[in-house]
Amino acid sequence: MSTLKKVVLIDDDQVNNFVCESIIRNEKFADEVISFEWAEDALQYLQKQSDEDTSHFPELIFLDINMPGMDGWSFIDEYRKLPKQATSSCCLFMLSSAVDRKDILTAKSNDEVKEFFSKPLSPEILDIIREEYISG
């Protein structure tokens, strides 16, 4: 039995998505990992999920900032518009390769964003998430 049912990855970097999926699986963090290279696609999926059945809405989202087309911040603006009963049980984390201060500060000031993590994703990060955001 994994910790979570569904995790969504939103990043244009396929390699990163591969790494994340592998780690989540290895750590048995989630039963299902869905990756999106385009934020627009991810948003579409989430809208669909919230419309149909909130139980299928992911419990956790890893979001990259720097993406062609819709970037992370634009995604958050749209995500905020999703029904609250869907998003309230979902934790959104920023996962970016950038170590820019500005990004971190922006992320922290954003209510939707739980926390900002630097790539690469690691079992340690998952442990932190598990401890702080899920077990409670």
Interface residues toward another protein, by CB under 8 A = 13-16, 18-20, 22-23, 26, 38, 66, 68-69, 96-100, 118-122
Cβ of residue 125: shortest distance to another protein, in angstroms? 11
DSSP assignment of 76-120: HHHHTTS-HHHHTT-EEEEEES---HHHHHHHHH-TTEEEEEESS
CA-to-CA separations, 59 to 6, 90, 97, 103, 106, in angstroms, rounded: 6, 4, 23, 23, 22
Which CB atom, from 39 or from 86, has the smaller least distance to another protein?
A: 39
Q: Which amino acid is at 83?
A: P
Cβ of residue 102: shortest distance to another protein, in angstroms? 8
Which CB atom, from 54 or from 104, has the smaller least distance to another protein?
A: 104
Which CB atom, from 41 or from 59, has the smaller least distance to another protein?
A: 41
Cβ of residue 24: shortest distance to another protein, in angstroms? 10
